[in-house]
Amino acid sequence: DLYLNPTYSFDNYIEGDCNRLARSAGMAVAQRPGVTSFNPLLIYGGVGLGKTHLVQAIGNHIKGHHHDKFVLYVSSEKFTNQFINAIKSNTLQDFTDFYMKVDALILDDVQFLSGKEKTQDTFFHIFNHLHQSGRQIIMTSDRRPSELQGLQDRLLSRFKWGLTADLQQPDFETRIAIIQRKLQAEGIYIEYSVIEYIAHSVNTNVRELEGVIISLMAQASLVRRDIDLDLAKVVMKNIVTAEDREVNIDTIQEIVSDYYDVSIADLKGKSRKKELVYPRQVAMYFAKELTDLSLKSIGYHFGGRDHSTVIHAIQTISDLMEQDDSVKDAVQKIRSTFS
């Protein structure tokens, strides 16, 4: 009951090739906790692939169907902190007694116990007690047990008593289903081609996929229009460039000064010579395009100029690019060195 979040269920956990074994093992454990041979059940997989959701769904299912059972979900971090506090306040016995009363123990992100010997000792005793008395243990980890460094061998060997199942990156069909499910839950309809576009563009993990959908909904309500392909493209572009925006102002100044063979000091300096003003304006133009800096702070990085100078620089370069192909080429060449 404790720490379970009722919003995570099997109903809203989309099944796909990427999670089929883990999901069905989780379902079996949820229906018959402590009875199957999947004890412990260890789910592993990278960040954002649905470990917490799945084990929470197991916990909620047990709680909903076996009212007499005491279900406890706890992150390994919280478990460790509780343990430390119990030592400090001399209540270690209460701590272990409490955990030994649990019917289904869900310990999330067990890799967090790495190197924490005392915490592992205590968990080992709790584990043994629970396992011997037919109680269910469910754990998650961000990597497979054989790669869990800093965990005691006696613990790792016990993890192998049950079933280990992994979660993989969601495949295309699963991503489609997850997007549809999410939109349905929000009561939003968008065209299938747009859903496909999103599923093609985001193929890392489910958390990121959800982030994109949230941005899309936010953007759509901001500009008061429906989510269509154009809007999706704009949002995706912003998300991608926001991540690529590791370019900082120093790099921009270096590259531009190299390209035009002027010094960085000159870029920041006071001279109004044409040979210097133009590269300076190009550098400011890129500072605006490639960083998140405000006009004011861009000006600050160019010898303390004010924001109207920066606006003027950006405008000048934009105009020149339209009028003069050589300027356009130069800007494109410089831009390509940033990516």
Rounded to a whole number of angstroms, the minimum distance from the CB of residue 203 to Mg ion is: 20
d(CA 252, CA 331): 12
Tokens of 311: 């606006």
Rounded to a whole number of angstroms, the minimum distance from the CB of residue 206 to ligand ADP is: 3
Rounded to a whole number of angstroms, the minimum distance from the CB of residue 129 to Mg ion is: 26
Rounded to a whole number of angstroms, the minimum distance from the CB of residue 75 to Mg ion is: 8
Binding partner of 40, given ligand ADP, Mg ion, none, CB within 5-8 angstroms per partner class? none
Q: Which span sits near ligand ADP by CB under 6 A: 46-54, 89-97, 98-106, 190-198? A: 46-54
Tokens of 127: 């584990």
Rounded to a whole number of angstroms, the minimum distance from the CB of residue 48 to Mg ion is: 8
Q: Compose the 176-205 pattern: x for residues touching ligand ADP by CB under 6 A, - for all others.
A: --x---------------------------
Residue closest to Mg ion when measured from CB atoms: 52
Phi, psi of 66 (to 5 degrees): -130, 85
Q: State how far Cα 70 lies from the chain centre.
A: 31
d(CA 223, CA 210): 20
Rounded to a whole number of angstroms, the minimum distance from the CB of residue 293 to Mg ion is: 34
Residue type, 60: N
Quick check: 83 binds ligand ADP (CB under 6 A)?
Answer: no
Quick check: 284 binds ligand ADP (CB under 6 A)?
Answer: no
Closest Cα to residue 45, out of 206, 166, 155, 181?
166
The answer to whether 20 and 171 have CB atoms below 8 angstroms apart is no
Closest Cα to residue 124, out of 144, 151, 148, 87?
151
Binding partner of 141, given Mg ion, ligand ADP, none, CB within 5-8 angstroms per partner class? none
Quick check: 52 binds Mg ion (CB under 5 A)?
Answer: yes
Binding partner of 162, given ligand ADP, Mg ion, none, CB within 5-8 angstroms per partner class? none
Return the SS3 of 111.
Answer: helix
Quick check: 281 binds Mg ion (CB under 5 A)?
Answer: no
* Comparison of 8 and 127: residue with beta carbon closer to Mg ion: 8
Quick check: 122 binds Mg ion (CB under 5 A)?
Answer: no
Helix and strand numbers (H, E) in the chain are 16, 5
d(CA 86, CA 74): 16
Distance, first Cα to last Cα, the chain? 50
Exactly one of 49, 72, 138, 235 binds ligand ADP (CB under 6 A); that residue is 49
Burial class of residue 180 in the structure, from the number of CB atoms within 10 Å of its CB (0-12 exposed, 13-18 middle, 19+ buried): middle
d(CA 316, CA 311): 9
Binding partner of 14, given Mg ion, ligand ADP, none, CB within 5-8 angstroms per partner class? ligand ADP
Residues 16-35 that bind ligand ADP (CB under 6 A): 19
Rounded (5°) CA angle 233-238-239:
100
Quick check: 256 binds ligand ADP (CB under 6 A)?
Answer: no
- Binding residues for Mg ion, rule: CB under 5 A, are 51-52
- Binding residues for ligand ADP, rule: CB under 6 A, are 12-14, 19, 45, 47-53, 178, 206-207, 210
